[in-house]
Amino acid sequence: MIRACGACGQKNRVPAENLADSGACGRCKAPLTPVAEPLNADPEFFDEVVKGARVPVLVDFWAAWCAPCRAAAPAVKQVAASMTGRALVLKVDTEAHPALAARYDIRGIPNFIVFKQGSPVFRQAGLVDQTQMELWLKQASSEAN
Catalytic, out of 5, 8, 25, 66: 66
Contact 71, 125 (CB under 8 A): no
Give the whole-angstrom CA distance, residue 122 versus residue 118: 12
Q: Is 69 a catalytic residue?
A: yes
**66 catalytic, yes or no?**
yes
Distance of alpha carbon 117 from alpha carbon 97, whole angstroms: 22
Would you call 50 helix, strand, or coil by DSSP? helix
Cβ proximity of 63 and 94 under 8 Å: yes
Of the candidates 8, 25, 28, 69, the residue annotated as catalytic is 69
What residues are annotated to the active site? Answer: 66, 69
